[in-house]
Amino acid sequence: MSEQPAKSSNRPDEFLSALVNCKFGAKSLQNVKASLASIDLLYPLRESQQWDLMSALYCSAVVRYTKPFSGSRSNRTYPIKRIKHNEGFSSEIHKHLLEIRDVLVAHDDLDIIEPKFMVHSYKFDGIEYPMSATITNKCLGYPGDWGMLAKIRSHVQSCFDAMRCRLTEDMHAVIDAHMRDPERNDECLAYAIDILSGVMPGTPIPKFVDDAFLDVVTPKFENVHGGYIYDQYRWPVSLGPIANALVLLDGRKIPLIWPKLEE
């Protein structure tokens, strides 16, 4: 009887699972980062009475924060268990932001805020003569209590910090799974670069985070208009110790000048 080839100890789905976690984690982190930016832009406007701009910033903060937790076409949401124990996380504020997203921002149903309609008229000889009519409505603006906005910001910052840590862990998990079974997962990596190729001794190593491969493909919408401008952010992480020199077989050392990682 012929021997069967030994099965890899690495589970077939381990690499892909970690990679999907990375991709969804990156989307979640960028959305929460944008939420923080909107809140920070709102603070200087507190005395400006620019109601529409202030409302737009707050609604943007709510939408971008809740995106990771509201599901998508794949029905995937960010696991709250991965961040809820981080210092500063508030379950009350998290639930509140999800609620106002559903009832005041993403949707605008009559049973939540009902417009008022009034007819102005006068009577003459018992006959009513309508002269004009008015209808009023209210849409979400921003917190009337700036102390509450500070609490919201603290919570969102906590989520950002925790998501950033989890994304770093997931990126390490991708590489670990790959190294345990490189042949099975090489096709999943799809692309790699030799950052030392062609580097002269003592010259800076190219800033690999600027590699063209990392340009994310986006929808064009060219059938409607000239397209959108997209905000792209990159999170590099160090996967191990950085050597200051490359030691050759003959003992010679080639100095290495690495680009700074802005994690």
Torsion sign across C-alpha atoms 150, 155, 160, 161? positive
For the CA atoms of 64, 156, 92, 26, the dihedral, rounded to the nearest 10 degrees, stands at 60
The model's confidence at residue 3, banded by pLDDT at 50, 70 and 90, is very low
Measured between alpha carbons, how far is 146 from 54 in angstroms, rounded to an integer? Answer: 12
Domain boundaries, the chain: 14-108+141-190, 191-263
CB 239 within 8 A of CB 175: yes
The model's confidence at residue 239, banded by pLDDT at 50, 70 and 90, is low
Measured between alpha carbons, how far is 50 from 52 in angstroms, rounded to an integer? Answer: 6
Rounded to an integer, the average pLDDT of 245-259 is 62
pLDDT of 160 > 60? The answer is: yes
The model's confidence at residue 252, banded by pLDDT at 50, 70 and 90, is low
Task: Identify which of 231, 228, 237 has the alpha carbon closest to the alpha carbon of residue 263.
Answer: 237
The model's confidence at residue 203, banded by pLDDT at 50, 70 and 90, is low
pLDDT of 128 > 70? The answer is: yes
pLDDT of 64 > 70? The answer is: yes
**CA distances, 122 to each of 128, 131, 132 (Å):** 6, 7, 10
Q: How distant is the alpha carbon of residue 22 from its chain centre?
A: 11
Task: Identify which of 71, 48, 209 has the alpha carbon closest to the alpha carbon of residue 57.
Answer: 48
Residue 181 DSSP symbol: S
Cα-Cα end-to-end distance for the chain:
54
* Residue 17 falls in which region: left (phi positive, over 0), alpha (psi -120 to 50) or beta: alpha
Measured between alpha carbons, how far is 87 from 190 in angstroms, rounded to an integer? Answer: 37
For the chain, the residue count is: 263
Rounded to an integer, the average pLDDT of 118-135 is 91
Measured between alpha carbons, how far is 193 from 213 in angstroms, rounded to an integer? Answer: 10
Rounded to an integer, the average pLDDT of 54-67 is 96
Measured between alpha carbons, how far is 54 from 46 in angstroms, rounded to an integer? Answer: 8
Q: Give tens-digit pLDDT for 26-51.
A: 999 999 999 999 999 999 998 888 99
